[in-house]
Amino acid sequence: QVQLVESGGGLVEPGGSLRVSCAASGFILGSYYIGWFRQAPGKEREGVSCISSSGRTTYYSDSVKGRFTISRDNAKNTVYLQMNSLKPEDTAVYYCATRHFAYCSGDPRDYDDWGQGTQVTVSS
């Protein structure tokens, strides 16, 4: 059974850091590009970051560039999103998803398997 499970979300103060994880089971995560998305209440799901299967190529949206870092450990079948200098506008449910083509996309319609999401709340 193909499954993606996000974890590591929580409540953090503005300026703080969190690392969210995306663990895969039932398939080899290292075969796929992986995207991170987020969705705030009342807003559309937006692409945040993407990483190639090897980890050598990464992509970031303008809103998180310089603050977030995507990485992967294929031996652990896990992808990470390190989030620093968090802002209240980063508050959202964060999702990871697999992409079955070998290039990044910020459009959620281009992704196939999704996790259930993890809530990140940035508030004082």
Tens digit of pLDDT for each residue in 77-88? 999 999 999 999
pLDDT at residue number 87: 98
Q: What average pLDDT does the structure give for the chain?
A: 96
* Phi and psi torsions of 91, nearest 5°: -60, 125
pLDDT band per the 50, 70, 90 thresholds, residue 27: confident
User: Are 106 and 51 in contact, with CB atoms under 8 Å apart?
Assistant: no
**Does position 1 have pLDDT exceeding 80, yes or no?**
no
Q: Which residues contact 111 (CB under 8 A, 6 or more apart)?
A: 35, 37, 97, 98, 99, 105
pLDDT at residue number 2: 80
pLDDT band per the 50, 70, 90 thresholds, residue 63: very high
pLDDT band per the 50, 70, 90 thresholds, residue 102: confident
CB atoms within 10 A of CB 20: 24
How does pLDDT run across 29-50, given as a tens digit for each residue?
889 999 999 999 999 999 999 9
